Chain A
């Protein structure tokens, strides 16, 4: 890189969002941009990858390399980017339907692989862009357009799932708390390995239950309870609590080598994306000799 100028959140602004006025995602977007600046990144060093959904429009609103991909597929795209060029900082963004519904299989395996991606999920417990249906994180009984008699399914817990699946950094934020969320995202980027930051980001149009007021009345920071983030059992207990108290903050973190640190190919040279394409004569000779 030729120039390194310290940037501010403003330098990471892209086009203006078209989200509904008052949408929780504005706070998350703001936090992501601040986190990029806080970590000291340059726009060309970052790839922000998303799936499809309201929250997945984020890459266009951020001044970095962006991939606005397919519904549920942010993590495979992001994994491809990271593994082919691990010098890049790779952030995946999306919503609860995108990540925990249609993309749940990839979420499990990205966590298990400990690929060095920071996954920022804007969780509003509803399908917003399709105008209000039950999501994997909707509470039982929630009345939506697809559940007129109330949801009868048990909600997905992204925090315990991520921990069980092998994620090495697992946090929960709230979009109304920009400072706290910024720190969680920035620490997630600095963390080497798969990090999940699940952020409660109210949908002001289609989820009239999980509102800003709902969260403001219930949120308690884990910092206040002296939680040991290396204790996965305690982390799961705090994550399962969902009533008068909802915890935010860092639930779990462990140091573990990430996929790009472990891949033998990357121990034998730089990013594969930068490698010369033609075979060397020696490589070709080895291939030929294996035929004989």
Chain B
């Protein structure tokens, strides 16, 4: 481990205002150009319950919320009772000493009680305790109070001067109390040259869609995908995009195809349950050859499952989404910025190959918050609509919507153009869209049309980049994962190095098409292979075996609702090497 690495956890109940100190601290870190990410462990309750927000800021690029906590801020007794045992020597525990009793801490943990009533002069102590605590934290981090003053001013300016002044006053009381009573962390918090911003994974998906030209967004609210709906609702007018909340996900999945048929690029997002309702429409999009993109932000299933917890449990649902043999892309972005970049790429593919795409995000990526440098984002990606026709014809045409071609791609005229009047159909059809499914059923025509569509995907793997092996080529162990496990696998490499194990990993983003040759090559060159995934049954391992016959030496799986922490993976790798264990299931220490 090298460079600055600071993790702060804030625990309390829903409604206690955990988000505000979280936002203030996040902004402070990213303005200094530091890497930042956060993970919020919460329950499906609007008021009450238990929330545990972990904020991590690092000098180096890290993708996960890490393994250790340096500061624990307890907003209630519950937090103290549940999480004090996790705190190690050198860490600090901050709490309101008026109403929270500290437990017995490990040696070297500094218990930092704040007499909130005294420090706030009894003014709205409950509301102000968070701000007092942020003041104390700022001192511990070694920052000047002015930094916090500026930040509070920005945070509360909409609420008026009185609120700003009150917050600055109580924050200062916390800061000064800390000077007198608590120790600073020895490490200097760095100041890097380029300030950054903050976004969530859902923001990244939505913004990537906007850059790709999405002009129609439809959704039914469902955690943890609702952030996209809110993003489009807040930004739709800026980007000239229509946003519609629809009665159910069946309506959503179909309305976006209708809108796409007029030439708009359309997007929708949901989670597993809503995605289940969308599946018939996904087949319709493929059969009618009208492109659109569906995002499934996975949460712990099955059924209603655990709405506020993460899982990579919908892979087989995505693979089996709709009946029959049909063409669609399936991709699982590895992290927020990857999600942003994926959107432009996948919209181009759906336009060029005239079929739907499924994006598998999950709660971990989508609801996590991360530092981002806007200058690194391409807001003007190449837009390639393939053989889409968007202009009126000149003179008469003999247009056939489903014309047989060598590539299987038939030029697609959008609805409303003169000279291209045609029908699109979910029934099997012939070149001119005439139905061959009713009394005209004709096996030769049916076969020809099935083959026309399938030709589109004959060499489709050449259209996407192969996954890349991260880490040293001659490692002791090669981990293989997909989607969001990138973060914990990436951050586990340093831990493994400390334990004398060299490891590398392959994160697969493209599920369909699958770069089978590249993955087989990685397996062939690996000394030992372990598949890491955030589900119980090894959905990716089973898919990979089905597609390639490849079987790994071991599995690391987690399905308790919480994401992997890097040490969970390091423990699993170590166990596999020592004990040749076939499957390792890490123990989740932090419980909310």
Interface string of B425-468 (1 = CB under 8 A from A): 11100000111001110000000000000000000000000000
User: Assuming the A-B contacts A60-B434, A263-B242, are A287 and B247 also in contact, with contact meaning beta carbons closer than 8 angstroms in the complex?
Assistant: no
Q: Is the CB–CB distance between B383 and A277 below 8 Å?
A: yes
Contact residues, B395-424 vs A (CB, 8 A): 414-424
A73 to chain B, nearest CB (A): 4
Question: Are the C-beta atoms of A291 and B372 separated by less than 8 Å?
Answer: yes
Shortest distance in angstroms between A261's beta carbon and chain B's nearest beta carbon? 13
A273 contacts partner chain B, Cβ-Cβ < 8 Å: yes
- Asked if A240 lies at the interface with its beta carbon under 8 angstroms from chain B, I say no
- CB pair B415 A287 closer than 8 Å: no
Query: Chain A residues with Cβ under 8 A from B258's Cβ?
Result: 49, 67, 76-82, 84
1/0 contact string of B483-511 vs chain A (CB within 8 Å): 00000000000000000000000000000
The tally of CB-CB contacts under 8 A between chains A and B is 219
For A14, the chain B residues whose CB sits under 8 A away are 423
Is B328 on the interface with A (CB-CB < 8 A)? no
Say whether B247 contacts A109, CB under 8 Å.
yes
Write out the residue numbers on chain B whose beta carbons fall within 8 Å of the beta carbon of A44.
416-421
Whether the pair A279, B210 counts as a contact (CB closer than 8 A) is yes
Given contacts A2-B392, A69-B426, A284-B379, contact A43 B216 (CB under 8 A): no
Complex contact A88–B416 (CB within 8 A): yes
Among B66-74, B262-270, B525-533, B575-583, the one that faces the other chain is B262-270
User: Chain A: which residue is nearest B418 at the CB level?
Assistant: A44
B423 touches A66 (CB 8 A): yes
Instruction: Collect the chain A residues with CB atoms within 8 Å of residue B198's CB.
Output: 291
Which residue of chain A has the shortest Cβ distance to B432 in the bound complex?
A: A15
Q: Given known contacts A64-B421, A73-B254, is B262 in contact with A85 (CB within 8 Å)? A: yes
Q: Would you call B260 an interface residue if the criterion is a C-beta within 8 Å of the partner chain's C-beta atoms?
A: yes
Other-chain residue from B196, B241, B379, B435 in contact with A60 (beta carbon distance below 8 A):
B435
- Given contacts A106-B247, A273-B262, A283-B238, whether A81 and B281 have CB atoms under 8 Å apart is no
| Contact yes or no, A277 B425, CB < 8 A | no
Closest Cβ–Cβ distance, residue A110 to chain B (whole Å): 9
B239 at the interface (CB under 8 A from A): yes
* A228: interface (CB < 8 Å): no
Q: Are B241 and A272 in contact (CB under 8 A)?
A: yes
**Chain B contact residues: over half helix, strand or loop, or mixed?**
mixed
- Return the chain A residue nearest B429 by Cβ: A68
Q: Which residue of B lies closest to A284 (CB)?
A: B379
- Whether, in the assembled complex, B244 has its beta carbon less than 8 Å from a beta carbon of chain A, the answer is yes
B197 in complex: contacting residue of A57, A79, A291, CB < 8 Å = A291
Distance of A109 Cα from B255 Cα, bound (Å): 13
Interface assignment of A140: CB less than 8 Å from any CB of chain B: no
Cβ of B229 to closest chain A Cβ, rounded Å: 15
Q: Does B102 have its Cβ within 8 Å of any Cβ on chain A?
A: no
Q: Is the CB of B240 within 8 A of A66?
A: no
Inter-chain CA distance A43–B418, complex, in Å, is 8
A73 — which chain B residues lie within 8 A by C-beta? 250-251, 254, 281, 284
- Chain B residues 221 to 274 lying within 8 A of chain A, measured CB to CB, are 235-244, 246-248, 250-266
In chain A, residues 126-172, which have Cβ atoms closer than 8 Å to a Cβ of chain B? none
Contacts of A64 in B (CB 8 A): 421
Between A and B, 27 residue pairs with Cβ closer than 8 Å are: A2-B392, A45-B416, A65-B415, A65-B422, A66-B423, A66-B433, A69-B254, A69-B284, A69-B426, A73-B281, A76-B253, A77-B261, A80-B258, A80-B259, A80-B261, A81-B261, A83-B216, A85-B263, A88-B262, A265-B236, A265-B243, A269-B240, A272-B240, A275-B215, A279-B210, A283-B239, A291-B199
B residues with CB within 8 A of A: 195-199, 203, 207, 210-213, 215-216, 218, 235-244, 246-248, 250-266, 280-281, 284, 288, 372, 374, 377, 379-380, 383, 392, 414-427, 433-435, 438-440
